[in-house]
Amino acid sequence: MDHLTEQEKRILSAARQVFLEKGRDGARMQEIANRAGINKALLHYYFRNKEKLYATVLREEIRSFIQGFTRSIPEENTFREFLNQFVHHYLQHIARKPEVIRFLLWELESGGERVGTLFREELQQTAVSGKFFLLARIEQAIQQGEIRSVDPLQLVLSLIGMCLYPFLARPILSMVFPSLNPTSPDFLERRKQAILELIWKGIQPDPSPDANRDKPD
């Protein structure tokens, strides 16, 4: 939020609280103004209407989430280490910012076009040669023989889906598995290990012909 004025930060913080408490449709500009300690006219000066304010809050949530976990991943790693760091930080950031999931669900209910556009725009800031950094890192790993030849896009979808699902489906999963808590340290560690084991076994390099030749009959 470094690009925002202190007044804008205060307004967005208040708006975020109200949106999370009342929902996108239930939030009222007057209540947001009251929380921010300003009058409604000044709120409308900064943000013309609730839709514009909500869109700004959503963008800041997505920007904070993406920058938070991408900056946590060391660039110079083997792919296996990179994979470990990616899954670890992705799960940790979702657990620390569960409100992101709530915003995502609201957007998906209305078609998801806006949130899709925002994610694309923010991910472009982390792009490598014009590609999503995770996609680029997978392609590099394939070229360097760190992993076997797989469809990079399918691997990206599998990784993100396996990380996100317990949080997106929490209302349903909690009814089926009442003790499940996706944000608990124990669950996060077990989830991370399960994802890494399953993914790595599917992408690890094929054994070289020489290695097979050296095995005793």
Q: Which CATH number is 134's domain given?
A: 1.10.357.10
pLDDT of residue 99: 80
Same domain, 37 and 71: no
In-domain check, residue 210 = no
Q: Which of 86, 117, 118, 108 lies closest to 169 in space, CA to CA?
A: 108
The position carrying tokens 């691997």 is 155
Question: In total, how many domains does the chain have?
Answer: 2
Question: pLDDT means per 10 residues in the chain (217 residues)?
Answer: 82 94 91 96 95 91 82 82 93 87 82 83 73 88 96 95 92 92 95 97 81 53
* Radius of gyration of the chain measured on its C-alpha atoms: 21
d(CA 138, CA 189): 23
Q: Looking at the chain, how many residues does it have?
A: 217
pLDDT of residue 215: 54
d(CA 92, CA 86): 10
Amino acid at 27: A
Q: 22 lies in which domain range?
A: 1-48
Same domain, 10 and 92: no
Same domain, 42 and 69: no
d(CA 55, CA 36): 18
Same domain, 89 and 139: yes
Same domain, 68 and 167: yes
